[in-house]
Amino acid sequence: IQDIALEKLAKVCDLNELDQIRVQYLGKKGELTGVLRGMGALSKEERPVIGQVANEVREAIENRIEELKEELKQRVREAQFKAEKIDITMPGKKVASGKKHPLLKSIEELENIFMTMGFDIVDGPEIETVYNNFDALNSPEDHPSRDESDTFYITDNILLRTHTSSVQIRAMENRKPPIRIVSTGRTFRFDAVDDTHSPMFHQLEGLVVDKHVNVANLKHTIDLFIREIFGNQLETRFRPHYFPFTEPSVEVDVACFKCLGKGCESCGGTGWSMELLGCGMVHPKVLRNCGIDPEEYSGFAFGLGLDRIAMVKYGINNIRLLFENDKRFLQQF
Ligand code: PHE
């Protein structure tokens, strides 16, 4: 029995087989167990002799089984380690991370500048009343910007706002002076698309209303944030202009970002980046429309094109790039 058992054990190659052989010899109905059970039928003289042999055989088989068990377990473990081995010298997988859109970056930067200057950031709807977008802002009935060829009307009284100045009206109706707010968002005009125009674009609106607010405060505020966002060396130029809701009204040019005012190709030789910003002192009629007494309070307002700011700041020469969501473009920022 021992010879056959050991021979079989020599061929075992997994734990299942090993267990089968254990059962075959040492199990309850196993061959060796049968021999030990049959001992009762033996004579007194035979019993110790046979018993001793049988026990030796059992021990030999048991020991071999134990040894093999350890060996096989070890082999399984080694195979597992091999399969699970990690090559720490392999290059890692690239994690594709998103980038902030240049427009969002400009907006966040501007909002931070104005927050440190004490302005509240407020929101306004893109779908507006004709009243908030035009009437309350003292826009004359026959002003060309009201024309259907310039403005997206939804009904006679509702439109897509053509500027963020409508937020001024909401702020003055809902707050009491002193008012200091800034609001950014989308604006819409019936413009043909070219390198610098898009029917959907973005503006930032600012409004300050308090006692004794004057033009010097306006000029200082504009100068300050232009320097903050573009850097100290940039000069500004204030040109007289007309807006129905401000008097006096001014347009502000900023020295060309590339040539710093010397004149280069990107500014057409003028040295100035044009039409970044419109501003002025809030018209007394507009204050009155919102229930604020122009004898007691005065204010200034400003509106700027955010797309232009982002384009000047990041050297983008085509406004379409801002809205096409081309990954090759977006990944550069
Ligand atoms: N709303 C004006 C525009 O869209 C800009 C502006 C805002 C001008 C506030 C003066 C005051 O051109």
Residues 6+ apart with CB under 8 A from 285: 138
Q: Does the beta carbon of 279 lie inside 6 Å of ligand 1?
A: yes
Between helices 102-116 and 215-230, what is the axis angle to 10°?
A: 130
Q: Residues marked as binding? A: 247
Q: Is pLDDT at 261 greater than 80 in this prediction?
A: no
- Pick 43 or 293 by higher pLDDT: 293
Q: Does the C-beta of 202 come closer than 6 Å to ligand 1?
A: no
Centroid of ligand 1 to alpha carbon of 279 (angstroms):
6
Verify whether ligand 1 is closer than 6 Å to residue 287 (CB atom).
no
Query: 167 pLDDT band (50/70/90 cuts)?
Result: very high
pLDDT tens digit string along 76-94? 899 889 888 888 888 888 8
CA of 203 to the centre of ligand 1 (A): 9
pLDDT tens for residues 197-256? Answer: 899 999 999 999 999 999 999 999 998 888 888 876 678 889 999 999 999 999 998 887
* Whether 164 contacts 303, CB under 8 Å: yes
Q: Is the CB of 206 under 6 A from ligand 1?
A: no
**How much distance in Å is there from the Cα of 276 to the middle of ligand 1?**
10
SS (H, E, C) the chain: CHHHHHHHHHHCCCHHHHHHHHHHHHCCCCHHHHHHHHHHHCCCCHHHHHHHHHHHHHHHHHHHHHHHHHHHHHHHHHHHHHHCCCCCCCCCCCCCCCCCCHHHHHHHHHHHHHHHCCCEECCCCCEEEHHHHCHHHCCCCCCHHHCCCCCCECCCCEEECCCCCHHHHHHHHHCCCCEEEEEEEEEECCCCCCCCCCCEEEEEEEEEEECCCCHHHHHHHHHHHHHHHHCCCCCEEEEEEEECCEEEEEEEEEECCCCCCCCCCCCCCCCEEEEEEEEEEECHHHHHHCCCCCCCCEEEEEEEEHHHHHHHHHCCCCCHHHHCCCHHHHCCC
Name the residue among 221, 223, 206 with its Cα closest to residue 282. Answer: 206
Query: Ligand 1: does its nearest atom lie under 6 Å from the Cβ of 277?
Result: no
- What does the alpha-carbon distance between residue 48 and residue 50 come to, in Å, rounded to a whole number? 6
Give the residue, by CA position, lying nearest to ligand 1 atom 10.
Answer: 279
Residue 107 has pLDDT above 90, yes or no: yes
- Ligand 1 centroid to Cα of residue 148, in Å, is 19
> Hey, whose CA ends up nearest to atom 4 of ligand 1?
163
Nearest to 210 by CA among 304, 281, 302: 281
Mean pLDDT check: name the lowest of 104-113, 218-227, 268-277.
268-277
Q: Is the pTM higher than 0.80?
A: no
The finding on whether 276 has its CB within 6 A of some atom of ligand 1 is no
Cα 155 to averaged position of ligand 1 atoms, centre (Å): 24
Choice between 179 and 144, residue whose per-residue pLDDT is larger: 179
By alpha-carbon position, which residue is closest to atom 7 of ligand 1? 303
Strands 127-129 and 158-160: antiparallel
Dist. CA 188 → ligand 1 center (Å): 14
pLDDT band at 1 (very low <50, low <70, confident <90, very high): confident
Q: Whose CA is nearest to atom 5 of ligand 1?
A: 303
Bridge partner list, 241: 249
Write the pLDDT tens digit of every residue in 231-244: 766 788 899 999 99
